[in-house]
């Protein structure tokens, strides 16, 4: 299988109907009007839920439901926009999963909670470890996976936040289905499952106001986690996260976004806890986890039209990125990706867009449909 393709058909249809109705002054149904026309006051919470239908060769058809909630603490628009989103699904192959993410700000932005929860029984395509893997997958790893990562940060001064970080990852009932002649002679760390708890600290500098669509501002985050058998971890390792983003509003509708990101691990790192590139956020177009190793470094740039001149709801973006994985800090083989996509203004009063992106690279391509920008 080349890069998996997943298209949320139902949501795409809703978006197109909504965009057409807005541009052509067509009156949509009451259901669509309630879902897509931001009629509530800007300080009131706004939510949307929608069905999804997608397909990938390793899962067959996938049926699910997704939703997102955006709000201001105490309905005060001077506070930063908080968001919480979720997605659950089942497939015709009997796989299932639920994903939840949130970025929540308290009144006057004194507290900042950022986290995600992922529970799934789902196949993972395994290509090997390192930057010099072959093009085809070696195996499908069937497993049950739990991920809980939470950061609770307190404003200490100005735009600086300091707080605790917790990361819990568990992989069990692991079964590798190797393709003919592909099974390696050695063992893979984590192939028998693991349960790792990481505890650490995070330091963040954040001037963004709307995390789903940043038009100007700066984010710098550093997080350090320790996983140790003392508090129940299967493996002993440490991980350092770095994430730097800057946003420039070139014109009223034009935004230039830049990101530099890294993840560096040391110790006994299981195969599914290695640093990875790919997916819907970083190095779009690559299958998430196709390239994995102890260390990862990447940069990406994106130019956004929010929306296009002469349009009320339709915009677009172009992006490009470079990234690499390595067993050490000698990143000597960089991969590239480039692409673009449409933007549809979902909540006009809150400046929140839905993105429909396609990423292209020498290995193939990937489609992505999400509420909010990639970074």
Which of 34, 110, 35, 115 has its CA nearest to residue 73? 110
Residue predicted with more confidence, 24 or 149: 149
Mean pLDDT for the stretch of residues 221-226? 97
pLDDT tens string 66-96: 999 999 999 999 999 999 999 999 999 889 9
Kindly report, residue by residue over 176-216, the tens digit of the pLDDT: 999 987 888 788 999 999 999 999 999 999 999 999 999 99
Q: Residue 98 in contact with residue 115, Cβ under 8 Å?
A: no
* Sign of the alpha-carbon torsion through 156, 157, 158, 161: negative
Tokens found for residue 227: 């996983």
> Which percentage of the chain shows pLDDT scores above 90?
73
pLDDT recorded at residue 241? 97
6: pLDDT confidence band, cut at 50, 70 and 90? Answer: very low
**Taking the complete model, does pTM exceed 0.75, yes or no?**
yes
Paired with 146 in beta bridges are: 119, 170
pLDDT score of 27 more than 60:
no
pLDDT in tens, 243-284: 999 999 999 899 999 999 999 999 999 999 999 999 999 999
Q: What is the mean pLDDT of the chain?
A: 89
Q: What are the chain's domains?
A: 9-371 (2.40.160.50)
pLDDT at residue 4 in the model: 42
3-state SS, residue 18: helix
pLDDT tens, position by position, 122-147? 888 999 999 998 778 899 999 999 99
b/e per residue, 224-251, with b = 16+ CB within 10 A? bbbbbeeeebbbebbbebebbbbbeeee
């Amino acid at each position: 299988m080349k890069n998996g393709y997943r298209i949320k058909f139902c949501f795409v249809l809703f978006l197109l109907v909504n965009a057409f109705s807005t541009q052509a002054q067509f009156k949509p149904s009451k259901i669509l009007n309630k879902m897509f026309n931001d009629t509530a006051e800007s300080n009131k919470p706004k939510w949307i839920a929608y069905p999804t239908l997608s397909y990938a060769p390793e899962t067959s058809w996938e049926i699910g439901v997704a939703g997102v909630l955006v709000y201001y603490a105490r309905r005060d628009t001077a506070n930063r926009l908080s968001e919480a989103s979720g997605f659950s699904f089942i497939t015709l192959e009997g796989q299932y999963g639920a994903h939840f993410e949130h970025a929540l700000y308290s009144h006057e932005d004194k507290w900042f909670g950022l986290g995600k929860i992922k529970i799934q029984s789902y196949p993972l395509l395994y290509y090997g470890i390192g930057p010099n893997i072959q093009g085809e997958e070696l195996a499908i790893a069937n497993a049950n996976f739990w991920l809980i990562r939470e950061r609770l940060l307190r404003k200490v001064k100005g735009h600086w936040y300091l707080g605790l970080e917790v990361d819990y990852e568990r992989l069990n009932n692991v079964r590798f289905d190797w393709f003919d002649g592909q099974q390696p002679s050695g063992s893979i760390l984590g192939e028998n499952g693991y349960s790792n708890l990481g505890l650490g600290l995070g330091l963040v500098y954040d001037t963004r106001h709307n995390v789903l669509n940043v038009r100007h501002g700066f984010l710098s985050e550093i997080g350090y986690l320790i996983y140790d058998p003392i508090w129940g971890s299967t493996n002993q390792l440490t991980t350092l996260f770095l994430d730097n983003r800057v946003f420039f509003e070139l014109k009223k509708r034009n935004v230039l976004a830049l990101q530099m990101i890294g993840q560096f691990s040391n110790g006994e790192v299981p195969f599914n806890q290695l640093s990875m590139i790919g997916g819907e956020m970083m190095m779009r177009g690559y299958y998430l986890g196709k390239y994995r190793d102890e260390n990862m470094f990447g940069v990406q740039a994106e130019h956004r039209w929010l929306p296009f001149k002469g349009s009320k709801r339709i915009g677009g973006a172009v992006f490009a990125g470079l990234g690499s994985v390595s067993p050490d800090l000698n990143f000597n083989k960089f991969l590239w990706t480039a692409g673009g996509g449409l933007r549809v203004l979902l909540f006009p009063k809150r400046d929140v867009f839905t993105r429909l992106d396609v990423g292209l690279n020498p290995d193939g391509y990937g489609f992505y449909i999400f509420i909010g920008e990639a970074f």
